[in-house]
Amino acid sequence: MVNDAPSPWNIANIVTMIRIAMVPFFAWALLVEGGDDTTWRLVATAIFVVAAISDKVDGYLARSRGLITDLGKLLDPIADKLLIGAALILLWIPLGELPWWIPVVILVRELGITFMRMGMLKYEVMPASRGGKLKTVLQAVAISLFLLPREGLDWLTVIAWIVLLAAFVVTVVTGLEYAYQGWKIRRDARAGASNP
């Protein structure tokens, strides 16, 4: 019997791995001169945007070329969380541009759902939902706006806050949805095991 499953070492997964590798370069660029250097702030923003867009690229490649793998389903959200997490932590602690509760709630949700999804692998792979993808887009747009040099641009800061608060709400709601979905998968798997 021929195994037609795509190799996990395909172009879509390689793009995801490159996104993961971009995170330390993004962090370094953002912290040059304590985050006050306009040029390096723009460089950091550009790296972040390219990395965020690569999420769409690897998804398109995986779907259009039949390269969807369990590794890709697992690595893709991890890459997103590393990028988003690094940005939120840096905007919070060294740069002081975000209040603590926004990164903390978002990161607790992201890490909690990631660990839950890993735990669910013995039952099935939980791919990202549409709500989860919307959450990622809103977070990426909000963070991109916060990364830009905004001195004297109060209107841009207002827009950044509106988008970030929308992302915050969607993050919490989708987190609860994932938790419920995970509970259902585990419940159904145990029910199936007890009733062979």
pLDDT digits (tens, 9 = 90+) for 30-50: 999 999 999 999 999 999 999
**How far apart, in whole angstroms, are the C-alpha atoms of residue 153 and residue 147?**
13
**How far apart, in whole angstroms, are the C-alpha atoms of residue 117 and residue 101?**
24
Find the mean pLDDT for residues 100-125.
85
pLDDT at 1 over 80: no
**How far apart, in whole angstroms, are the C-alpha atoms of residue 114 and residue 144?**
23
To the nearest whole percent, how much of the chain has pLDDT over 90? 52
Residue 127 pLDDT grade (very low, low, confident, very high; cuts 50, 70, 90): low
pLDDT digits (tens, 9 = 90+) for 140-190: 999 999 999 988 889 999 999 999 999 999 999 999 998 888 888 888 877
Find the mean pLDDT for residues 96-108.
95
pLDDT at 16 over 50: yes
pLDDT digits (tens, 9 = 90+) for 68-94: 887 887 788 788 889 999 999 999 999
Amino acid present at 130: R
